[in-house]
Amino acid sequence: MSADSPAAVIVLAAGEGTRMKSRTLKVLHELGGRAMLGHVLAAARELGPRRIVAVVGHRREQAVAYLGEHAPDVEPVVQEVQGGTGHAVRMALEQTGSLDGTVVVTNGDHPLLRGETLAALVRTHETAGNAVTVLTTEMPDATGYGRMIRAADGSVEAIVEHKDATEAQRAVTEINVGMYAFDGTLLEDALKRVTTDNAGGEEYLTDVVAILRGDGHRAGAHLVADWAETQGVNDRVQLAQARRQLNDRILEAHMRAGVTIIDPASTWIDVDVTAEPDAVVHPGTQLHGRTHLEAGASVGPNCTLTDTRVGADASVVNAVCVEAEIGPEASVGPFAYLRPGTRLSRKGKIGTYVETKNAEIGEGTKVPHLTYVGDAEIGDHSNIGASSVFVNYDGVRKHRSVIGSHVKVGSDNMIVAPVTVGDGAYTAAGSVIIQDVPPGAMAVARARQRNVEGWVERKRPGTPAAEAAEAARRAAEGGDDPA
């Protein structure tokens, strides 16, 4: 926070958002892994303001809970009755008290607005010595928006709503975005004079601009070049459009930083995901939360990773990974599911149709296929045979198994926790391991095979199996060829 930081940023987030048709408060709908309100607050923080205030109203309990969990530095102000934007800002100032310095007012449903844009608004405001500076943009189609009418010196002469505009004014394409930088002291005084003498019976923040101009103060504007950045979200269609625009912005930043994204159209990356140069993201991949890709990591196609770290030069293919750590040069997939607590070490392998949970898997160890590993610790350079299951739940509690290094677990094994298999040990295929296995031992835990001769012919006479068995027996006795 610098000495010239804004006194406050006030975020307006009290609207009902009926067009979303949702039980969730509009500003809490997510894009890029963060609520709309969260994006706005992140932009506000880039200004280093002395205070951030969020005005909440409809479904305030949701908003207050969100702020308590994700933004405890933000002060919630309740607007009991939604009486317009001017009323909302007045409620905020009544709680915060007088604010000496620049006060920025922004909206909680504008998730694409960048912090650098708000910073430029503040610079324009303070450099020009304006009483108020309006954030504006030029729209290809300005229908329905308030037009910015400029004076000869470039200052703001008026903001004219579309319905009240003349034909000449409607030809103006510069519109009011609905965000402002104010002199805090002048704002407080002007808000006391805003009336509800309008069709909506509300206090409008645009009236403050007219009041300040009437007092002889200068009203300026800061024009945003990219109009798409200034768009709000009012329904699910606009939310999807904003999500696409934000994702394109995130992907471009990663690619310019040295990450290869094979097909941006099918790749989705959250705002808090990080990646190092030479990481590669293949088509159909989604990276969520605080996932991180180290240099040379290759993810995809068709992967969904959440809060997962992928080591240098590791490969993850057709996999779902949640809160997992994948070591350098390791291999995962295809069709693997790594659940929370999975730690795969360097050059380890988790293969096809393998599920892991709360499992530490050592360097060079392989779990190639058709296996469940839960609540386990496996040492280095061991191999877990196909169709094996770590039986970790007794119906009441979870238990942990420990497999040593250089262990060969046979196919179709049941490792019944708690149990330890020592270094260098082997277990036979089809075994149910319920006791510890000493280092270097061979564990065989299965019944001896018994063949009941002639059972099919006696018990299933007339079936194709019985006929095939009879033909084979005759051929073996030197009779007819079974073919």
Residues making up the annotated binding site are: 12-15, 26, 79, 84-85, 109, 146, 161, 176, 234, 339, 357, 372, 383, 386, 392-393, 411, 429, 446
Contacts 24+ apart (CB under 8 A), 300-304: 300/262, 300/267, 303/333
Is-catalytic flag, 39? Answer: no
Q: Taking a C-beta distance cutoff of 8 angstroms, is the pair 26, 109 a contact?
A: yes
Tokens 């196919």, residue? 411
Q: Which residues are annotated as a binding site for UDP-N-acetyl-alpha-D-glucosamine?
A: 12-15, 26, 79, 84-85, 146, 161, 176, 234, 339, 357, 372, 383
Residue among 28, 18, 7, 12 at smallest CA distance from 78: 12
Angle at 314 (CA atoms; ends 352, 316), nearest 5 degrees: 35
Q: Both tokens of residue 336?
A: 């693997």
Angle in degrees, 0-180, between the axes of helices 184-191 and 206-214, rounded to the nearest 10: 100
Angle in degrees, 0-180, between the axes of helices 184-191 and 85-96, rounded to the nearest 10: 120
Dist. CA 345–CA 353, nearest whole Å: 19
- From residue 108, give the alpha-carbon distance in Å to each of 27, 39, 245: 6, 8, 17
3-class DSSP state of 390: strand
What phi and psi, each to the nearest 5 degrees, are found at residue 135?
-80, 125
Q: Both tokens of residue 37?
A: 């309100």
Q: Which residues are annotated as a binding site for acetyl-CoA?
A: 386, 392-393, 411, 429, 446
Q: How many CB atoms lie within 10 A of CB 146?
A: 22
Q: Could you say which of 254, 369, 381, 399 is catalytic?
A: 369
Name 13's bridge partners. Answer: 56
Dist. CA 362–CA 350, nearest whole Å: 11
Residue 187 burial class via C-beta count within 10 angstroms: exposed 0-12, middle 13-18, buried 19 and up: buried
Q: Which residues are annotated as a binding site for Mg(2+)?
A: 109, 234
Q: Provide CB contacts within 8 A for 184, sequence distance 6+.
A: 7, 8, 98, 99, 100, 101, 102, 103
- From residue 356, give the alpha-carbon distance in Å to each of 128, 316, 322: 61, 14, 10
What phi and psi, each to the nearest 5 degrees, are found at residue 244?
-65, -45
Residue among 473, 477, 457 at smallest CA distance from 465: 457
- Give the chain's largest Cα–Cα span: 118
Q: Taking a C-beta distance cutoff of 8 angstroms, is the pair 273, 261 a contact?
A: no
Residues making up the chain, counted from first to last: 483
Angle in degrees, 0-180, between the axes of helices 60-70 and 36-45, rounded to the nearest 10: 50
Q: Both tokens of residue 111?
A: 């998730």
Just list the catalytic residues. 369
